[in-house]
Amino acid sequence: MVHVIKIGGNIIDDELKLDDFLNRFAKLKGPKILIHGGGKLATSLAKDLAIDQQVIEGRRITDTETLKVTTMVYAGLVNKTIVAKLQAKSCNAIGLSGVDGNSIQSVKRNDLTIDYGWVGDVESINTGFLQHLIDNGMVPVISPITHDGKGNLLNTNADTIATEVALALSETNEVNLRFCFEKLGVLTNPELDGSWLRILDRKEYEYLKDQQIISKGMLPKLENAFRASELKVTRVEICHADYANEQGESFIGTQIL
Protein backbone atom coordinates (compact mmCIF):
# COMPACT_ATOMS: atom_id res chain seq x y z
CA MET A 1 0.00 0.00 0.00
CA VAL A 2 1.38 3.42 -1.03
CA HIS A 3 0.35 6.27 1.29
CA VAL A 4 -0.35 9.57 -0.44
CA ILE A 5 -0.85 12.26 2.18
CA LYS A 6 -1.92 15.83 1.56
CA ILE A 7 -1.23 18.27 4.38
CA GLY A 8 -3.11 21.54 4.51
CA GLY A 9 -2.06 25.09 5.10
CA ASN A 10 -3.27 25.53 8.67
CA ILE A 11 -0.86 22.83 9.86
CA ILE A 12 2.05 24.23 7.84
CA ASP A 13 1.57 27.70 9.31
CA ASP A 14 2.08 26.43 12.87
CA GLU A 15 5.62 25.23 13.60
CA LEU A 16 4.61 22.95 16.51
CA LYS A 17 1.69 21.39 14.63
CA LEU A 18 3.87 20.86 11.57
CA ASP A 19 6.59 19.18 13.61
CA ASP A 20 4.01 16.96 15.30
CA PHE A 21 2.52 15.99 11.93
CA LEU A 22 5.95 15.27 10.45
CA ASN A 23 6.75 12.96 13.40
CA ARG A 24 3.61 11.01 12.53
CA PHE A 25 4.35 11.02 8.83
CA ALA A 26 7.93 9.82 9.40
CA LYS A 27 6.58 6.87 11.44
CA LEU A 28 4.27 5.73 8.66
CA LYS A 29 5.67 2.44 7.30
CA GLY A 30 6.03 1.56 3.63
CA PRO A 31 6.18 3.72 0.50
CA LYS A 32 4.74 7.19 0.92
CA ILE A 33 4.41 10.60 -0.71
CA LEU A 34 3.63 13.94 0.92
CA ILE A 35 1.91 16.77 -0.92
CA HIS A 36 1.79 20.14 0.79
CA GLY A 37 0.04 23.43 0.26
CA GLY A 38 1.49 26.77 1.17
CA GLY A 39 -0.70 28.23 3.86
CA LYS A 40 -0.79 31.85 4.74
CA LEU A 41 2.94 32.40 4.21
CA ALA A 42 2.50 33.31 0.55
CA THR A 43 -0.29 35.75 1.39
CA SER A 44 1.77 37.42 4.11
CA LEU A 45 4.87 37.64 1.93
CA ALA A 46 2.80 39.20 -0.88
CA LYS A 47 1.43 41.68 1.63
CA ASP A 48 4.95 42.57 2.86
CA LEU A 49 5.96 43.15 -0.76
CA ALA A 50 2.81 45.20 -1.46
CA ILE A 51 1.65 42.77 -4.17
CA ASP A 52 -2.14 42.88 -4.31
CA GLN A 53 -3.78 39.47 -3.88
CA GLN A 54 -7.07 38.53 -5.45
CA VAL A 55 -8.84 35.30 -4.56
CA ILE A 56 -11.90 34.21 -6.57
CA GLU A 57 -13.86 31.20 -5.28
CA GLY A 58 -10.92 30.01 -3.21
CA ARG A 59 -8.48 30.24 -6.13
CA ARG A 60 -5.61 32.69 -6.03
CA ILE A 61 -5.29 34.85 -9.13
CA THR A 62 -1.64 34.39 -10.02
CA ASP A 63 -0.05 37.30 -11.87
CA THR A 64 3.68 37.25 -12.61
CA GLU A 65 4.70 38.76 -9.27
CA THR A 66 2.38 36.42 -7.35
CA LEU A 67 3.84 33.43 -9.20
CA LYS A 68 7.29 34.46 -7.99
CA VAL A 69 5.96 34.70 -4.42
CA THR A 70 4.25 31.29 -4.51
CA THR A 71 7.30 29.65 -6.11
CA MET A 72 9.56 31.13 -3.44
CA VAL A 73 7.27 30.12 -0.58
CA TYR A 74 5.92 26.72 -1.74
CA ALA A 75 8.85 25.29 -3.74
CA GLY A 76 11.50 27.04 -1.65
CA LEU A 77 10.83 27.81 2.00
CA VAL A 78 7.99 25.40 2.83
CA ASN A 79 9.26 22.46 0.77
CA LYS A 80 12.86 22.63 1.99
CA THR A 81 11.85 23.24 5.61
CA ILE A 82 9.69 20.09 5.53
CA VAL A 83 12.38 18.02 3.79
CA ALA A 84 15.08 19.14 6.27
CA LYS A 85 12.85 18.16 9.21
CA LEU A 86 12.03 14.77 7.66
CA GLN A 87 15.71 14.07 6.96
CA ALA A 88 16.41 14.75 10.65
CA LYS A 89 13.77 12.11 11.47
CA SER A 90 15.58 9.47 9.34
CA CYS A 91 13.03 9.79 6.55
CA ASN A 92 14.83 10.02 3.18
CA ALA A 93 12.70 12.80 1.76
CA ILE A 94 13.26 14.44 -1.62
CA GLY A 95 11.52 17.73 -2.32
CA LEU A 96 9.97 18.03 -5.75
CA SER A 97 8.04 20.57 -7.72
CA GLY A 98 6.28 19.49 -10.89
CA VAL A 99 9.27 20.70 -12.93
CA ASP A 100 11.71 18.35 -11.23
CA GLY A 101 12.18 15.25 -13.34
CA ASN A 102 9.10 16.51 -15.23
CA SER A 103 7.09 14.93 -12.42
CA ILE A 104 3.89 16.95 -12.98
CA GLN A 105 3.04 18.75 -16.18
CA SER A 106 0.00 20.99 -16.30
CA VAL A 107 -1.75 23.30 -18.69
CA LYS A 108 -2.37 27.01 -18.09
CA ARG A 109 -6.02 27.48 -17.21
CA ASN A 110 -7.98 28.97 -20.07
CA ASP A 111 -11.15 30.37 -18.52
CA LEU A 112 -13.27 32.64 -20.69
CA THR A 113 -14.75 34.60 -17.81
CA ILE A 114 -11.89 34.83 -15.30
CA ASP A 115 -8.18 35.30 -16.07
CA TYR A 116 -6.54 33.18 -13.37
CA GLY A 117 -3.06 34.08 -14.60
CA TRP A 118 -0.28 31.52 -14.04
CA VAL A 119 -2.58 28.81 -12.70
CA GLY A 120 -2.21 25.27 -14.00
CA ASP A 121 -4.54 22.29 -14.28
CA VAL A 122 -2.76 18.95 -14.02
CA GLU A 123 -2.26 17.27 -17.37
CA SER A 124 0.13 14.40 -16.71
CA ILE A 125 2.03 12.70 -13.90
CA ASN A 126 5.44 11.11 -14.49
CA THR A 127 4.36 7.90 -12.74
CA GLY A 128 7.52 5.99 -13.67
CA PHE A 129 9.72 8.60 -11.99
CA LEU A 130 7.68 8.72 -8.77
CA GLN A 131 7.48 4.90 -8.70
CA HIS A 132 11.26 4.69 -9.20
CA LEU A 133 11.85 7.02 -6.24
CA ILE A 134 9.56 5.16 -3.85
CA ASP A 135 10.90 1.78 -5.04
CA ASN A 136 14.33 3.07 -3.98
CA GLY A 137 13.10 3.99 -0.50
CA MET A 138 12.83 7.70 -1.12
CA VAL A 139 9.93 9.85 0.06
CA PRO A 140 8.81 12.49 -2.45
CA VAL A 141 7.60 15.75 -0.86
CA ILE A 142 5.70 17.63 -3.54
CA SER A 143 5.01 21.37 -3.64
CA PRO A 144 2.08 22.70 -5.69
CA ILE A 145 4.21 24.38 -8.38
CA THR A 146 4.06 22.61 -11.73
CA HIS A 147 5.11 23.54 -15.28
CA ASP A 148 3.73 23.58 -18.81
CA GLY A 149 6.71 22.00 -20.57
CA LYS A 150 7.35 25.30 -22.36
CA GLY A 151 9.45 26.81 -19.60
CA ASN A 152 6.66 28.34 -17.51
CA LEU A 153 5.92 27.59 -13.88
CA LEU A 154 2.25 27.25 -12.87
CA ASN A 155 0.58 27.57 -9.49
CA THR A 156 -1.54 24.45 -8.99
CA ASN A 157 -4.07 23.27 -6.43
CA ALA A 158 -2.41 20.88 -3.95
CA ASP A 159 -5.58 18.78 -3.39
CA THR A 160 -5.76 18.17 -7.13
CA ILE A 161 -2.09 17.20 -7.26
CA ALA A 162 -2.63 14.70 -4.42
CA THR A 163 -5.61 13.23 -6.28
CA GLU A 164 -3.82 12.91 -9.61
CA VAL A 165 -0.67 11.45 -8.00
CA ALA A 166 -2.81 8.89 -6.13
CA LEU A 167 -4.69 8.01 -9.33
CA ALA A 168 -1.47 7.64 -11.34
CA LEU A 169 0.11 5.34 -8.75
CA SER A 170 -3.13 3.34 -8.53
CA GLU A 171 -2.38 1.88 -11.96
CA THR A 172 0.11 -0.50 -10.33
CA ASN A 173 -0.33 -0.04 -6.55
CA GLU A 174 -2.91 -0.18 -3.82
CA VAL A 175 -3.09 3.45 -2.69
CA ASN A 176 -4.36 5.10 0.47
CA LEU A 177 -5.04 8.81 -0.16
CA ARG A 178 -5.50 10.98 2.90
CA PHE A 179 -6.36 14.67 2.96
CA CYS A 180 -5.15 15.83 6.38
CA PHE A 181 -6.17 19.15 7.87
CA GLU A 182 -7.23 20.77 11.15
CA LYS A 183 -10.66 19.09 11.53
CA LEU A 184 -11.60 15.52 12.41
CA GLY A 185 -13.17 14.88 9.02
CA VAL A 186 -16.20 16.08 7.09
CA LEU A 187 -18.36 17.86 9.67
CA THR A 188 -22.15 17.98 9.47
CA ASN A 189 -22.00 21.08 11.65
CA PRO A 190 -18.94 23.29 11.21
CA GLU A 191 -19.44 24.63 14.74
CA LEU A 192 -19.23 21.15 16.27
CA ASP A 193 -15.82 19.47 16.14
CA GLY A 194 -17.46 16.19 17.10
CA SER A 195 -19.89 16.13 14.18
CA TRP A 196 -17.55 14.30 11.79
CA LEU A 197 -18.92 11.57 9.55
CA ARG A 198 -17.29 8.13 9.62
CA ILE A 199 -18.23 7.52 6.03
CA LEU A 200 -19.55 9.65 3.20
CA ASP A 201 -20.88 8.44 -0.13
CA ARG A 202 -21.77 10.46 -3.22
CA LYS A 203 -25.50 10.42 -2.49
CA GLU A 204 -25.16 11.76 1.02
CA TYR A 205 -22.59 14.29 -0.21
CA GLU A 206 -25.01 15.65 -2.81
CA TYR A 207 -27.68 15.94 -0.13
CA LEU A 208 -25.36 17.81 2.28
CA LYS A 209 -24.27 20.08 -0.56
CA ASP A 210 -27.87 20.89 -1.52
CA GLN A 211 -28.65 21.67 2.10
CA GLN A 212 -25.55 23.92 2.19
CA ILE A 213 -24.38 21.96 5.24
CA ILE A 214 -20.97 21.33 3.72
CA SER A 215 -19.11 24.62 3.61
CA LYS A 216 -17.89 26.16 0.38
CA GLY A 217 -14.18 25.64 1.04
CA MET A 218 -14.72 21.88 1.45
CA LEU A 219 -16.35 21.40 -1.95
CA PRO A 220 -13.23 21.30 -4.16
CA LYS A 221 -11.53 18.97 -1.64
CA LEU A 222 -14.53 16.63 -1.69
CA GLU A 223 -14.82 16.71 -5.47
CA ASN A 224 -11.18 15.61 -5.60
CA ALA A 225 -11.78 12.93 -2.98
CA PHE A 226 -14.78 11.49 -4.85
CA ARG A 227 -12.92 11.59 -8.16
CA ALA A 228 -10.06 9.58 -6.60
CA SER A 229 -12.37 7.12 -4.88
CA GLU A 230 -14.68 6.54 -7.82
CA LEU A 231 -11.97 6.13 -10.42
CA LYS A 232 -9.37 3.84 -8.91
CA VAL A 233 -7.83 4.75 -5.53
CA THR A 234 -8.17 1.93 -3.00
CA ARG A 235 -9.01 4.03 0.04
CA VAL A 236 -9.69 7.77 0.34
CA GLU A 237 -9.99 9.55 3.68
CA ILE A 238 -10.32 13.07 5.07
CA CYS A 239 -8.90 13.40 8.56
CA HIS A 240 -7.13 15.52 11.16
CA ALA A 241 -3.33 15.75 10.86
CA ASP A 242 -3.14 14.02 14.26
CA TYR A 243 -4.44 10.83 12.63
CA ALA A 244 -2.23 10.90 9.53
CA ASN A 245 -0.42 7.70 10.49
CA GLU A 246 -3.20 5.87 12.36
CA GLN A 247 -4.53 2.61 10.97
CA GLY A 248 -7.51 0.38 11.73
CA GLU A 249 -9.37 0.90 15.02
CA SER A 250 -7.27 3.88 16.11
CA PHE A 251 -7.99 5.88 12.95
CA ILE A 252 -10.47 8.75 13.15
CA GLY A 253 -11.74 10.47 10.04
CA THR A 254 -14.19 10.37 7.16
CA GLN A 255 -13.84 7.59 4.63
CA ILE A 256 -15.04 8.58 1.14
CA LEU A 257 -16.97 5.75 -0.49
Of 26-34, 145-153, 167-175, 240-248, which segment contacts its own copies by CB under 8 A? 145-153
Of 53-61, 99-107, 223-231, 249-257, which segment contacts its own copies by CB under 8 A? 99-107
| Binding-site member from 17, 59, 68, 232 for its own copies (CB under 8 A) | 68
The answer to whether residue 80 forms part of the interface with its own copies (CB under 8 A) is: yes
Q: How many CB atoms lie within 10 A of CB 64?
A: 9
Of 9-17, 131-139, 165-173, 238-246, which segment contacts its own copies by CB under 8 A? 131-139
Q: 60 vs 183, which CB is nearer to its own copies?
A: 60
- Comparing CA positions, the residue from 162, 173, 145 lying closest to residue 228 is 162
CB of 145 to its own copies, least distance (A): 6
The answer to whether residue 93 forms part of the interface with its own copies (CB under 8 A) is: yes
The answer to whether residue 99 forms part of the interface with its own copies (CB under 8 A) is: yes
The answer to whether residue 83 forms part of the interface with its own copies (CB under 8 A) is: yes
The answer to whether residue 153 forms part of the interface with its own copies (CB under 8 A) is: yes
| Binding-site member from 25, 74, 179, 181 for its own copies (CB under 8 A) | 74
| Binding-site member from 61, 72, 219, 257 for its own copies (CB under 8 A) | 72
The answer to whether residue 151 forms part of the interface with its own copies (CB under 8 A) is: yes
The answer to whether residue 20 forms part of the interface with its own copies (CB under 8 A) is: no
